[in-house]
Amino acid sequence: MKVYEVFIQVRPGQAHEHAGSLDATDMDMAMALAMQHYGRDQKCVHVWVADRDAMRGSEATGEPVFRLTDQDYRFAKGYAEVRKKWEKFRNKSDVEAYQQEDLRDFF
């Protein structure tokens, strides 16, 4: 007996969700058992069965999985640092004038 993972699709167009695991001798038996068991438990329109031994995942290091390229610009952080960098190139009177003009335009 081998362990198979079962994924079901509840409605057309939705993602498949992991429904559970089952033991079977081959893929055909696993599909038949999955359709009988998971189709009976809840209404579903599609069933996937995958051999657990054939599935692969990333190494569990305990660290978040990130892309190899730096994409920190996607995260909403560091605005205080950006302002500090911007103020290095502007003098205080220019910043105050900009803020007064900006407020006047919107309020």
Asked if 22 and 56 count as a contact pair (C-beta separation under 8 A), the reply is: no
Asked if 78 and 86 count as a contact pair (C-beta separation under 8 A), the reply is: no
Q: Is the pTM of this model over 0.75?
A: no
Residue 35 predicted with pLDDT over 80: yes
**pLDDT given for residue 3 in this prediction:** 96
Asked if 21 and 8 count as a contact pair (C-beta separation under 8 A), the reply is: no
Pairwise CA distance, residues 34 & 48, whole Å? 9
Given 3.60.20.10, 3.50.50.60, 3.30.460.10, 3.10.20.520, which CATH number is that of 2-54?
Answer: 3.10.20.520
Pairwise CA distance, residues 93 & 107, whole Å? 21
Q: How confident is the model at residue 86 (pLDDT cuts 50, 70, 90)?
A: confident
Tokens linked to 56:
């692969």
Q: What is the mean pLDDT of the chain?
A: 82
Residue ranges per domain, the chain? 2-54, 73-106
